[in-house]
Structure 1
């Protein structure tokens, strides 16, 4: 079934509705009655549901948390899951971030690509199906999420009230299809520092990194020593030998060792240089005597070092679908009482959390190091021959003429928040990923092509 000509005839309407919702600043705000994520988000949800109602769809608002437009009949339903909340606009815009102005056939606005433009494309794709009068065997819901950027708490509310779809997609990633997303863990490892150094060298503090899911580009340690010049000289020599960007600065009675790395996303730590572990490599050359901090430094240098795949820690999992486990040391903070490290480990999709956690914990045995604040998100994986994957591949190839290759990623998409959903667009291969960037835009041509792809995809899944 081809809905393309009908979609072409709705071009002005699609652009107008997209601009209308883009003009609403829907960053998370102060909760109010019936507005759990603030006034801006509530206004965007009302706008999306009003547009949906005007297009002839049944609309439902679930207590201000989330809403949907629905079409068709049947026990089961197919879902398109998008979100209306956006990140703050930030600085550096060449056009107003909430004006939705069109320049060079591009609609500029925060949320144009992430994710208001694509969810409007899906809504109008369903409109084309409705206007064509074709019969579907399942209901279709365009679901308007409202908290994807800051926790996806709306999905918990939705799944308490509604059963999940039997299949569907989220237009909140990239094309062709993301069929595999690694399991994601973030947690702290902590060691109490009861046994203090008794020698001439004492580490006063260590601090570095910003978030668990970022390769740290800076870390520093403050060292108290009777011979500060010797410590500084050792750091300079170490930098020459290793090639690490490490510098020393003597300030009063403290020698500050500064380690400079290269930041990268925590899902791809091999693309960065870890400033924390560079610093630990140097600290391991200092005689700290018998102490808890010396034991912790030695443990990390032996079991992690600059390894980003978990091999040295005994958790080097790997599969054909998604590749190697990624191991990122993201943040460190040490004071007189304890040292804490935030880790971000992402394991391959065909494994279970226990396959990583059990050997990890075994390696900690006897070290005095404990795990705290453990957070986990299970992997998402659809086999290559899964009906949903094959259907979306067929649609993408027919609409674009391009091969629908499958993507496996270390990050997590909105698809992880709802069963039976896979990430499908809207960013086309070779196009820039402008999510969360200044001057975010969606090309009008891409908006229209997304509408055509999503219309056919919905039809194929629900026919």
Structure 2
């Protein structure tokens, strides 16, 4: 337990270093020369590197994109990857978001949990190893990312110039260990609305959702109808039967139909109520006739509906490691003779993109609906017997006394941006997750515990 005793001696210095970083509002800003993500993010990077230099580590700043602190010798290295950029603070804070005030044993501020304090905990863990002169077989790098919240462009810069670690972790998620992360896709289904008929009801425009990776909580459609009163009555009856929050309001040129749902993360679509698909069901009840818009709506109602696992669409992939595919309809726009539907599908870790896309193309055959793939992240998956997983399980159990169960998630962590690493902490089981929320904080006792866990993890992987 030499490492733990050493870290206890650093407690006040660790708190002070965390406070110094939290006081920098490192939200992405306008790019400047040598500061690709803005002056504030650059200030945070320089502060972290300065803290590391004072500890006696060799530091490198890669053109303002990313930096690292390094200890040890050899070609191969163990990597600890964290990030210094933060999301905007938002409203509702009880203490100033960039003051790093301490109340009831907690440091409050944006970045205390995501991810400034945890990466500093890892840095102090490495300092304990250095000060105790513990033998390491591999070099260790604590890597300070700067663009995790806005696209991870810094990782492209890093991996174009540096080889990846042979193993490591990112303290940017939760404990115990996330060993499986589903493949993530964002794509649009697109159809040109060429076939038109003058029917009793015509959809003039439609808009819903904010992002593909969110369950949409609002959708509205502008409808032109010969009998607006009948449309309003149909909507009222539909709302009563289904219990959906959906209503219609008369306009000079027809009717505006509004559907309200409940938002949730795109990785967990079953936790929300999809306002777009509620709207599709309602529109399917209207006299739209035989045209491209009506056929698109009928297709969605038949093959998607309110399902969130892709079963009717024919993409209900599943494995024992990570569970079922998740299927989220996130956005829709109908205007200028085109309808565009934004989807976020997350597929199980033992499948690949082609497995899923082949099934999608098969379902779309003959519909005239095209696919535009916007983003793809491969699954992250380590065998339960992988040495990295076994090492982190051993450390976690020894330092916490808790079982190191393995987690599989539909979301994507920073680990996907760097080969050979997994997400490991810092949120302990039973603790609330305030990442991106108001009143983000880290308990000081957990900050110190994280430093101890990370010190042992680094030593275990590098020795």
Report the TM-score, using the length of structure 1 for normalisation: 0.99
2:197 & 2:209 partners in 1: Cα distance?
Answer: 25
2:249 corresponds to: 249
Deviation of the 1:260 alpha carbon = 1.4
Deviation of the 1:2 alpha carbon = 4.1
1:148 & 1:276 partners in 2: Cα distance?
Answer: 30
1:216 & 1:155 partners in 2: Cα distance?
Answer: 30
2:23 corresponds to: 23
1:426 corresponds to: 426
1:208 corresponds to: 208
Look up the SS of the partner of 2:450 in the other structure: helix
1:461 & 1:443 partners in 2: Cα distance?
Answer: 27
Q: Deviations over 1:188-245 (max 9, x none)?
A: 1111011113222111111111110111111111111111111111111122222222
Look up the SS of the partner of 2:361 in the other structure: helix
Deviation of the 1:253 alpha carbon = 3.1
1:80-99 equivalences in 2 (<5 Å): 80-99=80-99
Deviation of the 1:165 alpha carbon = 0.2
2:447 corresponds to: 447
Question: Is 1:289 aligned with 2:298?
Answer: no
2:344 & 2:179 partners in 1: Cα distance?
Answer: 22
2:101 & 2:144 partners in 1: Cα distance?
Answer: 23
Question: Is 1:170 aligned with 2:170?
Answer: yes
Look up the SS of the partner of 2:160 in the other structure: helix
Deviation of the 1:10 alpha carbon = 1.0
1:69 corresponds to: 69
Which stretch of structure 1 is more off in the superposition, 90-99 or 224-233?
90-99
1:215-294 equivalences in 2 (<5 Å): 215-294=215-294
1:97 & 1:122 partners in 2: Cα distance?
Answer: 23
Question: Is 1:334 aligned with 2:310?
Answer: no
Look up the SS of the partner of 1:3 in the other structure: helix
1:59 & 1:374 partners in 2: Cα distance?
Answer: 36
Q: Deviations over 1:123-168 (max 9, x none)?
A: 0000000011111000000000010010000000000000000000
1:94 & 1:283 partners in 2: Cα distance?
Answer: 44
Gaps of 5+ in 2: none
1:321 corresponds to: 321
1:364 corresponds to: 364
Which stretch of structure 1 is more off in the superposition, 167-176 or 91-100?
91-100
Look up the SS of the partner of 2:438 in the other structure: coil
Question: Is 1:404 aligned with 2:404?
Answer: yes
Deviation of the 1:434 alpha carbon = 1.0
Contact 2:185 2:373 (C-alpha < 8 Å) held by counterparts = no
1:159 corresponds to: 159
Contact 2:276 2:329 (C-alpha < 8 Å) held by counterparts = yes
Question: Is 1:374 aligned with 2:374?
Answer: yes
Look up the SS of the partner of 2:5 in the other structure: helix
2:462 corresponds to: 462
1:381 & 1:427 partners in 2: Cα distance?
Answer: 21
Deviation of the 1:251 alpha carbon = 1.9
2:220 & 2:91 partners in 1: Cα distance?
Answer: 29
Number of aligned residues: 463
Deviation of the 1:336 alpha carbon = 4.1
Deviation of the 1:67 alpha carbon = 0.5
Gaps of 5+ in 1: none
Contact 1:228 1:253 (C-alpha < 8 Å) held by counterparts = no
Deviation of the 1:335 alpha carbon = 1.4
2:182 corresponds to: 182
Could you list the structure 1 runs, at least 4 aligned residues long, displaced by more than 6 angstroms after superposition.
none
Which stretch of structure 1 is more off in the superposition, 249-258 or 172-181?
249-258
2:47 corresponds to: 47
2:330 & 2:82 partners in 1: Cα distance?
Answer: 30
1:348 corresponds to: 348
Report the TM-score, using the length of structure 2 for normalisation: 0.99
Q: Deviations over 1:280-324 (max 9, x none)?
A: 011111121121001101111111011110111110000011110
Deviation of the 1:439 alpha carbon = 1.3
Contact 1:2 1:456 (C-alpha < 8 Å) held by counterparts = no
Look up the SS of the partner of 1:161 in the other structure: coil
1:99 & 1:199 partners in 2: Cα distance?
Answer: 61
Deviation of the 1:373 alpha carbon = 4.3
